[in-house]
Amino acid sequence: MHHTAAGTWNYTVPAKMRVVITDVSAVNTAASIVEYAAYIAGVAFAYARLPASGGSQYFTTRAVAYQGEVITLYIQTSGVHASLFGYGFSDLSGRTGPPAAELAGEVPPLDLPPWD
């Protein structure tokens, strides 16, 4: 996903697919400080206030989006070149979130004997 204009762009992960974002890059060519952000299912995994005229951010990550989740890229003002790089793959499990979310509340409490 790559955009340079101000606004918000969304991508919904298709059914039976999973997307892994591996790299995030943003460069500000505008004459003022500009914010950009990226989200998966409403949770930010990238955010910066980029300095004017060349401020940039680049990092490697492993942000995972499951089927039905929305990947959002937000650019405050035109002039920021923001890109999300990664790959998608078939996920026939139909998983809709990370394993911890699926197990929440289902694991019985650990019952240990008292220490002597």
| Calpha distance 55→42 (Å, rounded) | 25
| CA angle centred on 78, ends 77 and 82, rounded to 5° | 95
| Cβ burial, residue 28 (10 Å; 0-12/13-18/19+) | buried
Domains of the chain: 2-95 (2.60.120.340)
- In this prediction, residue 110 carries a pLDDT of 56
| Calpha distance 57→44 (Å, rounded) | 15
- In this prediction, residue 38 carries a pLDDT of 95
Which one, of 1, 8, 11, 4, lies nearest residue 50 by Cα?
4
- Extract the residue ranges of the chain whose pLDDT is less than 50: none
pTM: 0.81
- Tens-digit pLDDT profile for residues 81-93: 999 999 999 999 8
- In this prediction, residue 52 carries a pLDDT of 94
| Calpha distance 44→37 (Å, rounded) | 7
